[in-house]
Amino acid sequence: MLKKVIVYLFVVVVLVACDSKTIEQKEVSNQKKSNAVVETIMNRRSIRSYKPEQIKPDELDIILECGINAPSARNIQPWSVRVVQSKEVLTKLNSDYVNYTKLQNPEFSNRVPDYDVLFGAPTFVLIAGDTTEMYAQNDCGMLAQNMLLAAESMQIGSCVLGGIIRFINSPQGKEFRDMLLLPDNHRLFIGIVFGYKDENPDAKPRDASKVKKIN
């Protein structure tokens, strides 16, 4: 009889523990849905297809204002932000980048004959940082993340670009770089395109094992 009671109590404890865990998971899920910031973070995707219409000026202003309200070491704000929306300029930039890439990798044009590094986005934001400041790259990264999340909160797509920034920083990209009128000692770190989404990609898997809590 005693053995049956012990087994019964064990089963009850297990069921209660599982039910508690389920309740906790539901609470976390509900918190994600009810918290606008968390929901924006979880919903954001890198968009690589955009509608042709330009984003509204007031939307762009919000994105930029959120960006420069990012924290920075000692509040130095070691960044310079440039916005390019001219279709003519962006078309030429893409053409120059593709030609540069073909020289670096002749097979590139065969694989991607009509490549658009900007993915058809109508707005290109470039973030440069003061290379004399130790934490400039960190600060510019936080500025960029603020912009990405501000855009997503307004259902505006975005994508961070790397290759074209290398090109603009290279000798071959001097013409475009000079047009930006960057201060001395500033170097481009990050490029982001913005525009209205023309796709809705699924989230890519995340590896939670890369996060460890050290007690």
Domain boundaries, the chain: 2-34, 57-196
Nearest to 193 by CA among 120, 96, 140: 120
Percent of the chain with pLDDT over 70: 82
Confidence grade of residue 1 (pLDDT, cut at 50, 70, 90)? low
pLDDT at 215 over 70: yes
Between CA 110 and CA 67 the distance in angstroms is 38
Residue 115 confidence (pLDDT): 83
pLDDT at 70 over 90: yes
Range 165-191 average pLDDT: 97
CATH class of this structure's domain 57-196: alpha beta
**Greatest mean pLDDT range, 28-42, 91-105, 140-154:** 140-154
Residue 11 confidence (pLDDT): 46
Summarised one tens digit per residue, pLDDT across range 71-127 is: 999 999 999 999 999 999 999 999 999 888 888 877 766 666 678 999 999 999 999
Residue 102 confidence (pLDDT): 82
Which own/partner pairs from 42-46 qualify as long-range (CB within 8 Å, at least 24 positions apart)? 42/203, 43/152, 44/148, 44/149, 44/152, 44/158, 45/157, 45/200, 45/201, 45/202, 45/203, 46/158, 46/159, 46/160, 46/201
pLDDT at 59 over 90: yes
pLDDT at 48 over 90: yes
Confidence grade of residue 22 (pLDDT, cut at 50, 70, 90)? low
Nearest to 50 by CA among 110, 120, 1: 120
- Of 1-5, 9-13, 67-71, 82-86, which gets the smallest average pLDDT? 9-13
Asked if residue 135 lies in contact with residue 71, where contact means CB atoms within 8 angstroms, the answer is no
